[in-house]
Amino acid sequence: MQEGFRRLHPLTPVLRGWKFFAAAVALAVQQSFSDLGLGYVLLVIAASIPVGIAYGYVSWRTTHFRIGPEDLRLETGVLFKRSRRVRLDRLQAVDVVRPLVARALGLAELRLEVAGGSSSEAPLAYLSERAAHQLRAELLARAAGIEHDEESAPEAPERVLLTVPLSRLIEAQVRSSLFIGAVVVIAVIAVGSLLSGEFAPLGLAIPFALVVVPGLFQGIAGQFDFTVAESPDGLRLRRGLLETRAQTVPPGRVQAVRLVEPWLWRSRGWCRIEADVAGYVGEGQAQASVLLPVGPRADALRVLALVMPDADLSTINLAGVPPGARWLDPFQWRCLGAGMDDRIFVARRGRLRRETDIFPHEKLQSVRLSQGVLQRRLGLATLHLDTTPGPVLVSAAHRDEQEARHMLDAAVELARRARATVRPDRWMRPPAPPAAPTEAP
């Protein structure tokens, strides 16, 4: 091992090997239904234990990492070696994830999220909880551009902004279309079997419940004890009942935000916030993009003010679409709206499930104007503002074609101006003088 490199926690092979063992058991159980005998199955399970441990040990021996002033180096691989360098100024988010088994052993996984790639590109699994928090503080301090001499960076202070009470999470699930639909189906089955006097149909309710109940449980457990906090390192989110996740999203890393108001939440005035963060892509990352699972509009606006300090929704006048749009979207055309000021672009849609997209001009990747055959007849066009991959796709459908073109030209010009005054990637360093071109890596 080279100078300055560190290893993962020594219990890592046990945790990794456990997964290997579980896979072997699952495979063996599946096979045992075929013609193979019980002895053979037990042999496979027994053999998997030393193989799993050996592989886990070798894998642990060959994995090491080092944090430099500008980058993280990660060396992995048993047969095929891989050495990866992650630029810290391009860090999009740092997450500490603790699955249930890891929590029992006092371990945690540290995930560095960078743009591009299809999943978390530099996972450090597993570290002790203390080491994970220490490392997170150090990574964030270096990414922010703070110089410090000692080995340990101090944890940035944080101020809790809001928490989501369990009762609200439960009520939000009860007010979901999944729950209402499930209740209706079960009620129909129950009434049907009562009227007919046959109880066989009740058996149908069991597999149905097996699908719906885990969905509802995950909705609550995944967002359990949801906490939003503010720190100099940006937005801090914590959530989870069985598997917990603590996220840090530095300033300027949120690309676009969507406020979602499902119709069953409307009477409570609740909404959800989803966001595009360049690192949160791939499997299992959808939950990480939720900045607020459920909360009153006032809470949503506080979270919004944290991630986009310049955004002011109240002063933006959302213009509707021409009546011609009723031919293309008869049910919802009156709900379509779009508008902008010099900081953000806002688009609204949806009658039952209302969605409001908020998009800061400086994050614009490209703009598209498209017009289908029918739209051309009606003098309409759709404007798309492209952002990094994520749950939020910003578009303003069926605008008047002249207005859409003016919006396109305005968005391009405003994005150009906004990019010139954008905050630096290293958020604690004073911004570079405007005359300098780009910051050298």
Binding site for another protein (CB under 8 A): 89-90, 115-116, 255, 278, 363-373, 376, 381, 384, 386-389, 393, 401-410, 412, 415-416, 419, 422, 425, 437-438
Cα–Cα distance, 92 to 280 (Å, whole number): 9
Backbone angles phi, psi at 106, to 5 degrees: 75, 30
Cα–Cα distance, 146 to 69 (Å, whole number): 10
DSSP 124-169: EEEEEHHHHHHHHHHHHHHHHT----SS-PPPPP-EEEEE--HHHH
Residue 118 sits at the vertex; the CA angle it makes with 389 and 348, to the nearest 5 degrees, is: 15
Using alpha carbons, list the distances in angstroms from residue 152 to 6, 33, 131, 405, 415. Answer: 14, 55, 10, 53, 39
**Residue 344: CB partners within 8 Å, gap ≥ 6?**
308, 310, 311, 312, 316, 358, 359, 360, 361
CB of 347 to another protein, least distance (A): 14
**Token pair in block for residue 237:** 């989110």
Q: Given the complex with another protein, which of 48 and 388 has the nearer CB atom? A: 388
Q: Given the complex with another protein, which of 225 and 386 has the nearer CB atom? A: 386
Q: Given the complex with another protein, which of 30 and 366 has the nearer CB atom? A: 366
CB of 355 to another protein, least distance (A): 17
Cα–Cα distance, 106 to 103 (Å, whole number): 5
What does DSSP assign to residue 359?
A: E
Q: Given the complex with another protein, which of 269 and 309 has the nearer CB atom? A: 309
CB of 318 to another protein, least distance (A): 13
Q: Given the complex with another protein, which of 314 and 421 has the nearer CB atom? A: 421
Cα dihedral across residues 164, 166, 171, 176: positive or negative: positive
Q: Given the complex with another protein, which of 149 and 283 has the nearer CB atom? A: 283
Q: Of how many residues is the chain composed?
A: 441
Q: How many CB atoms lie within 10 A of CB 440?
A: 5
Q: Given the complex with another protein, which of 197 and 434 has the nearer CB atom? A: 434
Q: Given the complex with another protein, which of 200 and 373 has the nearer CB atom? A: 373
